[in-house]
Structure 1
Amino acid sequence: MSSRISPLTRSNERVSQRLRMERMTVKREDEQKAGGVAAVERAFAILHAFKAGDTSLNLSELAQRTGMYKSTILRTMTSLIREHCIVRLDDGTYQLGSMLLHWGGLYQAALRLDDHVPAILRRLVQETGEGASFFTREDNLRVCLFRVDSPKSVRDHIRTGDLLPLDKGAAGRVLSSFDRTLIRNAEFPNYPLIVTVGEREPDIGAVAAPVFGPMGSLRGALAVSGPAARFSAELIPAMSQSVLKAASDLTRRLGGDPFVFDAALSPTTASA
C-alpha cells in the first residue's frame, strides 16, 4: 500500500523549510556582526527605508527597500514600536514614531557650530588651497562666523567677525537666494551653488553653497575665496565639487536633509 502526502503537508513542509533557511541566514548575519549588532543593523535598515515625502510605508514596501524578509521585519518592528520609533497605523502601514523627534530635539539642543564648521573649513582649505569661510545673515549684511586662511602667500583677507555686503559675492548671494522664509518655492534655485569672479572686489573670486538645517532652514553659506586668477574655468569645476561635498556633509551634521546636493555632486562645468 503506497503512502500519499497531502498538499497541506507539502505546503507545511515548504513553510518550515523556508523558516529554517531564514533562521540560518539570520544566525550567519548575527555571527558575522559579532552577536547582537545584526539586530541593530536591521532596525536601522528599517528606519533608513523612510525617505523624504513618505507619510507611511506598508510591509511590502519595507521589504522591497530593505531586502529583508517580511517575518524579519515584523520581529524587528516589535522592538521599534515598543520604543516609539515606529508607529503602526490603523490601515496596517507604518510611520516614523515620536521618539525620533525627541532624539532630534536633544541633538539640536546639544548642537554647536563650533564642533562642526571649523573641521569642514580646514578640509576645504586642504582640498582647494583657498581660504574657506562660513557666513550667516545679519539684517542686510553677512557676517563671517568662521574662517580658515589659505596657506598661500597671495590670498584674500577675511577675518572672523567681518561684515560684508549681502548683494555682492557668492556667499552673499547664497544667503539671499536660498532662504525659504524670503524666497517663494517657484523661485527657489534648483542648483545649490553660486560662483562669482570680480563681483565684490575686482580681483577676488568665490564659490559658495548653502548649508541647511532641519525643515530646510538656511543655516549659513559655506564658501572658498581667493585671487580671481585662481578661479579659472578649468579650476572652478573641481573647486565646486569640494564645496558641494562640504556643504552636504555640514548640512547632514546640522540635522538637515542633503538630498539637494545629490544631483549636483556630479562632474559639472561652472562658469564665472
Structure 2
Amino acid sequence: MGQPDVSKQDGAKQQQSGIGVLDKTVAVLHAVADSPCALGDLCARTGLPRATAHRLAVGLEVHRMVRRDAEGRWHPGSALAELAGGSVDPLLDAASVILPELRDITGESVQLYRREGVIRVCVSVAEPPSGLRDTVPVGARLPMTAGSGAKVLAAWADAHTQQAVLADAVFGERTLLEVRRRGWAQSVAEREPGVSSVSAPVRDAAGNVVAAVSVSGPVDRIGRRPGSRWATDLLDAASSLQDHL
C-alpha cells in the first residue's frame, strides 16, 4: 500500500487518514480555526491548490462548518459549536439577556439573525407574552431578498454575496448604501404583508458585522417608519451585544 499524503500545512503536522478528500477538508477546518483567513491564506496554510481550497471551503460553508465575514474571510461556523454539544456561544449567551430587555422596551417581537451564504437564520428570539406578534421561530431560514434584517446583513456582506442577493431582492444597491450610512435598516410589508421591522448590525470585537438584531410587529401598531421609533434602542442593544463579543 502506498503512503498517505503528508499535509503541506504550516505549523503542527496533522495525522493523515489516507482518505484524501477527508484529510484536505480537515486541513481547511484547522486552518480556519487557527485564525480568520481569506482564500490566499487558506492556500498558504493548507498547501492546497486555490480551486480545491475554495471548493472545500464553500462546501463547508453550506454545512455551516465555516462562515464568511464581510471581508470574505472564513471563520469557524456555528455547526461546529452545535456538534461540540454545549460549547458556549458568547453571542447567543448575550442575546438571552439583551433580547428580552429590548422586547420589554419596545413591547414587540425581537429576533437575532446570522447570515449563512445568501440565507439568514434566526438564532434567538424574544416574544411579548400576549397580543398580535410577528413570530419567527429559532432555526427559521429566511431569504436575504426582503426585510430589514436582510438589508443589514447584505449591506455588510462581501461583494459576491451582495451581487447574488441583489439579483432577486426587492431593494437595490442604493438602499444598501443608505443602510451603511445611517447604521440601521427598516422595512414595511417586505417579508410579510402587514409587518414592519427595523434592524441594526451586531459587530464582533474586530468590527465585523456578525449578526442583525431586529424589532418587528404589525404595521398598524408600530407604523410605517419603525426606525424613527426604535432605532436608538435597537442600536443600544446592538452595542450591548458587541460588548459581550
- TM-score normalised according to structure 1 size: 0.49
Q: Does 2:139 align with 1:161?
A: yes
Q: 1:191 to 1:236 in 2, by over 3 A?
A: closer
Corresponding pairs, count: 145
Q: Residues 184-220 of structure 1: CA distance to partner in whole angstroms, max 9, x if unpaired?
A: 9x99812111010111111111010000113221110
Which consecutive unaligned segments of at least 5 residues does structure 2 have? 1-86, 163-176
Q: Residues 163-203 of structure 1: CA distance to partner in whole angstroms, max 9, x if unpaired?
A: 1111100001111002367699x998121110101111111
Q: 1:183 to 1:215 in 2, by over 3 A?
A: farther
Q: In structure 2, which of residues 87, 90, 94 is the aligned counterpart of residue 116 of structure 1? A: 94
Query: Over alpha carbons, which structure has the higher Rg?
Result: 1
Tell whether the 8 Å contact from 1:129 to 1:152 is kept in structure 2 after alignment. Answer: no
Tell whether the 8 Å contact from 1:180 to 1:218 is kept in structure 2 after alignment. Answer: no
- Give the corresponding residue for 1:253: 244
Q: Does 2:195 align with 1:204?
A: yes
Q: Distance in 2 between matches of 1:166 and 1:134?
A: 14
- Give the corresponding residue for 2:61: none
- Give the corresponding residue for 1:172: 150
Q: Distance in 2 between matches of 1:221 and 1:204?
A: 17
Q: Does 2:130 align with 1:152?
A: yes
Q: In structure 2, which of residues 222, 225, 238 is the aligned counterpart of residue 231 of structure 1? A: 222
Q: What is the deviation of 1:135?
A: 0.2
Q: Distance in 2 between matches of 1:148 and 1:247?
A: 15
Q: Distance in 2 between matches of 1:113 and 1:216?
A: 14
Q: Residues 217-266 of structure 1: CA distance to partner in whole angstroms, max 9, x if unpaired?
A: 11100001111112225764231111111011112221xxxxxxxxxxxx
Q: Distance in 2 between matches of 1:167 and 1:187?
A: 16
Question: Which is bigger in relative contact order (C-alpha 8 A, separation at least 6)?
Answer: 2
Tell whether the 8 Å contact from 2:122 to 2:140 is kept in structure 1 after alignment. Answer: yes
- Give the corresponding residue for 2:121: 143
SS at match of 1:142: strand
Q: 1:179 to 1:252 in 2, by over 3 A?
A: farther
- TM-score normalised according to structure 2 size: 0.54
Q: Supply the AA of the counterpart residue of 1:239.
A: W
- Give the corresponding residue for 1:48: none
Tell whether the 8 Å contact from 2:200 to 2:213 is kept in structure 1 after alignment. Answer: yes
Which consecutive unaligned segments of at least 5 residues does structure 1 have? 1-108, 255-272
Q: Distance in 1 between matches of 2:190 and 2:122?
A: 18
Q: Distance in 2 between matches of 1:214 and 1:138?
A: 20
Q: 1:144 to 1:234 in 2, by over 3 A?
A: closer
Q: Distance in 1 between matches of 2:91 and 2:226?
A: 29
- The 5 A counterparts of 1:71-150 are 112-150=90-128
SS at match of 2:186: strand
Q: Residues 8-55 of structure 1: CA distance to partner in whole angstroms, max 9, x if unpaired?
A: xxxxxxxxxxxxxxxxxxxxxxxxxxxxxxxxxxxxxxxxxxxxxxxx
- Give the corresponding residue for 2:208: 217
Q: 1:239 to 1:188 in 2, by over 3 A?
A: closer
Q: Supply the AA of the counterpart residue of 1:247.
A: A
Q: 1:178 to 1:235 in 2, by over 3 A?
A: closer
Q: In structure 2, which of residues 186, 198, 213 is the aligned counterpart of residue 195 of structure 1? A: 186
Q: Supply the AA of the counterpart residue of 1:158.
A: V
Q: Distance in 1 between matches of 2:184 and 2:178?
A: 15
